[in-house]
Amino acid sequence: MLIVKRETAVYAMSPENEPVARVRSGDTLTFETADCFGGQIVQETDRMGTLDWSRINPATGPVFVEGAEAGDTLKVEILRIDLAEQAAMVEAPGEGITGLNAQEESTKILPVKDGRIIFSERISLPVSPMIGVIGTAPADETVATGTPSFHGGNMDCRRIGAGSTLYLPVNVPGALLAMGDLHAVMGDGEVCVCGAEIAGEVTVRVSVVKGQPLPLPFLVTQEHAMAIYSAEGLDAAAEGTTLRMRAFLIDQVGLAPHEAGMLLSLTGDLRICQAVDPNKTCRMEVPMNVIGDCGYRFP
């Protein structure tokens, strides 16, 4: 099985990036990933203000998927996420939402032990590994890995974990898939500008779906189907993800327009993925059993 080394990292999603490996549709491969700090925070005396910002948010890759053409969909099945032995977090004035009131920079190192992160002597939390940055190349622009958009990128959706399937747009030949920025655990919103940032390995299966039958990016888990949308403000992100899911229910699932809107109001959960990046990201979740009752099956 192909292992893509973390040393191949890029710091922007771009059609100009040279692929570091090639795979076929249906292949399984593993991405080694650095944490979002590029390994620069290893002890609690390390501070965010001293970081080399050119090394922030590395994404391993990109990988060229043979047969993927512009206008297609890349199906990424996330099979496994393995984590390093410790995570790091920071809080700093002016960073994220909590940074609006933070008075000084603080760093916390979080050991991972027996499937839990050790937050303090009194608090430990079960790990829930997720991918913060995952995306394909945009069609005709270069987008920093720290910014989410229609190509994916730094969506920080905590549902993008093992057992989920993420559908991404193919904008250029080969798609140019890259990923990084793992979190051992993170709450919706990522309000202090980071989760439990950690290095690790992600094993995925990639497949080419011809055409784009879904509003992309789109995420499927055993429990939910989710449209994901990023925009400059939270209002626009919330409206975008809701209207994209409504369009999916009409165009693909086959509901009448008024039924789609009503069903979203009854069963849809509108959630904030992250509220701290240059673009904000929201998702609209619909229970899979509701979609299954309509007879729809995902490609």
Please compute the mean of the pLDDT values over residues 13-40 and round it to a whole number.
98
Q: What is the pTM of this model?
A: 0.97
Asked whether the predicted pLDDT for residue 205 surpasses 90, the reply is yes
pLDDT digits (tens, 9 = 90+) for 147-198: 999 999 999 999 999 999 999 999 999 999 999 999 999 999 999 999 999 9
- Residue whose tokens read 């975008």: 240
pLDDT band at 248 (very low <50, low <70, confident <90, very high): very high
User: How far is Cα of residue 264 from the mean position of the Cα atoms in its chain?
Assistant: 23
Q: How far apart are CA 184 and CA 293, in angstroms?
A: 34
Question: Residue 28's beta-bridge partner residues?
Answer: 205
> Residue 167's pLDDT is what?
99
Tell me if the bond preceding 217 is cis, omega within 30° of 0. yes
> Residue 245's pLDDT is what?
98
Domain assignments of the chain as residue spans, ordered by start: 218-293
Residue 2: enclosing H or E segment and its boundaries? strand 2-4
Mean pLDDT of the chain: 97
pLDDT band at 50 (very low <50, low <70, confident <90, very high): confident
CA angle 196, 152, 285 (to 5 degrees): 80
Residue 98 has phi, psi (to 5 degrees) of -65, -25
pLDDT digits (tens, 9 = 90+) for 62-90: 999 999 999 999 999 999 999 999 999 99
Q: How far apart are CA 124 and CA 111, in angstroms?
A: 10
Asked whether the predicted pLDDT for residue 209 surpasses 90, the reply is yes
> Residue 190's pLDDT is what?
98
Asked if 72 and 207 count as a contact pair (C-beta separation under 8 A), the reply is no
> Residue 171's pLDDT is what?
98
Asked if 160 and 166 count as a contact pair (C-beta separation under 8 A), the reply is yes
Interstrand relation of 2-4 and 28-33 (parallel, antiparallel or unpaired): parallel
pLDDT band at 59 (very low <50, low <70, confident <90, very high): very high
pLDDT digits (tens, 9 = 90+) for 103-157: 999 999 999 999 999 999 999 999 999 999 999 999 999 999 999 999 999 999 9
Asked whether the predicted pLDDT for residue 48 surpasses 90, the reply is no
CATH 3.10.28.20 fits 218-293, yes or no: yes
